[in-house]
Structure 1
Amino acid sequence: MTRGYFVTGTSTGVGKTLVSCALLHAFRRNGETAVGMKPVASGCEEGRCTDVDLLVAASSVTARRELINPYTLIPPIAPHIAAQRAGIEINVDTIREAWLELKKIADVVIVEGIGGFLVPLNAHQNSGDMARALDLPVVLVVGVQLGCLNHALLTAQAVGATGLALAGWVANCIDPHMAALDENVFALEERLDCPLLAVLPFDSAADAKKLAGLLNVPAMVQDCV
């Protein structure tokens, strides 16, 4: 049966796309077909989004663009505001329908969220509601920087409130001058009730394919969908 994972982060710009692409490469190495999905993307110039392009490149199967990225928004702002300005409303049911089509063509579907876990999508729903509609275990990307402990623990608490499982977490070192790095990672290991999948070193030109080898994919809490 097809498996899926929802990749969220402690905030925007913490490496969700990098980790999503690394996961796609990791599953491909295991001999599984894998496809990435970015249901909602903002900051897309001329209808194209770099994050979506990277997910497409990391995937091992080809799918229609409207399935991979149902909502493409131009302004680099909160998705519900960008959608309002475009005169549309993000519909979680539409996203679920696209996801159901993708799961027909791959062994694993990696769904990358937008912003943090509770970022609004419309007047009534947020990214967490999208994850719950897809009923996927969650991979948490922690951008390791000052304040990350609180951000990570609050996000984990929000995920738990939806009833979804945390499949694992990734410490992505986004601050090259982060003080007490090891101690911060250890503090989260003690407090997050899911496996640490990898500590990704700071690299301004990180290569998702190379980082795939660092991910402890077998440790991930798995769920069939």
Structure 2
Amino acid sequence: MVEGVFVTATGTDIGKTYISALLVKAMRQHGLHCGYYKAVLSGARSIHESDAGFVNEFAQIDQEKESLLSYLYKTPVSPHLAAKLEGNPVSLRKIKADYKKVCCSFDYVVTEGSGGIVCPLRWDEEAQILLEDIVKALSLSCLVVADAGLGTINATVLTTEYLKQRQIHISGIILNHYTGNEMERNNIKMIEILTGVPVLACVKEGDVNLNISLNKLKDIFKREVF
């Protein structure tokens, strides 16, 4: 049975694509057959130039580019608006089918979200789809990516509390843009105290590997049911 995880973040441009790439790369370095999938992406002209293309190249997956992504919008706005402007609304049925195809080729799959967890993907008279609906439809746990710096305590607590209220299991937290100063070390402590969720790794600028043990890596993909 394929094991998967959904990578979300406390907001846009926090670095979930980079962390997703590091995560897939780490799995593959340990000999684990890990692939990648992103349901919806806006603001890119092609798959090759998109977040999905970056992960495929960085982690050296050599995955068929058409399987990396279900919806690609060129307009650099929220997916629900891009879908409306470009006349190509998101379908959960297609996303589930595309994800299943990726699962047929790998033992582990990292699924990357769009923006933060409260991201609308479709909002019209026929359907209203938020990012959390994909998480639930694919029966995945979430890995939360947060910035290591000032303001992260509030953003991380709010994100984790939202996920808990929606009964979505959180596998852990990874802090990005970490420098190791006293404030950031204290941020780790306070985040773990206030959320009850472990900070599994801290990623510095330019890191090309994820400093995390194999056991912790595998634990990220385990789903717990409330």
Work out whether the TM-score is over 0.5. Answer: yes
The Cα offsets for residues 133-152 of structure 1, whole Å up to 9 and x where unpaired, read as 11111100011233221111
The one of 161, 166, 169 equivalent to 1:162 is: 166
The one of 204, 210, 215 equivalent to 2:212 is: 215
The Cα of 1:47 is off from its aligned counterpart by 5.7
Matches of 2:97 and 2:169, distance apart in 1 = 22
The Cα of 1:211 is off from its aligned counterpart by 2.4
Matches of 1:216 and 1:141, distance apart in 2 = 18
The Cα offsets for residues 5-58 of structure 1, whole Å up to 9 and x where unpaired, read as 000000011110111011101111221111111111111025643311122124
Q: How many residues are treated as equivalent by the alignment?
A: 218
Equivalences for residues 14-53 of structure 1 within 5 A: 14-46=14-46, 48-53=48-53
- 1:211 maps to amino acid: N
The one of 123, 129, 145 equivalent to 1:141 is: 145
Q: Is the 8 A contact 1:41 1:73 kept in 2?
A: yes
Secondary structure, counterpart of 1:52 in structure 2: helix
Partner residue in 2 for 1:152: 156
The Cα offsets for residues 92-139 of structure 1, whole Å up to 9 and x where unpaired, read as 221111111111110110000000001100111111111111111110
Equivalences for residues 28-107 of structure 1 within 5 A: 28-46=28-46, 48-59=48-59, 61-107=61-107
Q: Is the 8 A contact 2:114 2:131 kept in 1?
A: yes
Partner residue in 1 for 2:6: 6
The Cα offsets for residues 131-183 of structure 1, whole Å up to 9 and x where unpaired, read as 11111111000112332211111111121122221111101126x69872211
Structure 2: runs of 5+ lacking an equivalent: none
Matches of 2:59 and 2:40, distance apart in 1 = 18
Matches of 2:39 and 2:120, distance apart in 1 = 14
Partner residue in 2 for 1:120: 120
Question: What TM-score does the superposition give when structure 1 sets the normalisation length?
Answer: 0.88
Matches of 2:46 and 2:18, distance apart in 1 = 22
Percent of residue pairs bearing the same amino acid type = 25
Partner residue in 2 for 1:200: 203
Q: Is the 8 A contact 2:14 2:176 kept in 1?
A: yes
The Cα of 1:60 is off from its aligned counterpart by 5.7
Equivalences for residues 164-203 of structure 1 within 5 A: 164-173=168-177, 180-201=183-204, 203=205
Partner residue in 1 for 2:110: 110
Q: Which deviates further from its counterpart, 13-22 or 154-163? A: 154-163
1:177–1:35 CA distance, 2 compared to 1 (3 A): closer
Q: Is the 8 A contact 2:169 2:223 kept in 1?
A: no
1:11–1:126 CA distance, 2 compared to 1 (3 A): same
Q: Is the 8 A contact 1:34 1:60 kept in 2?
A: no
Secondary structure, counterpart of 1:184 in structure 2: helix
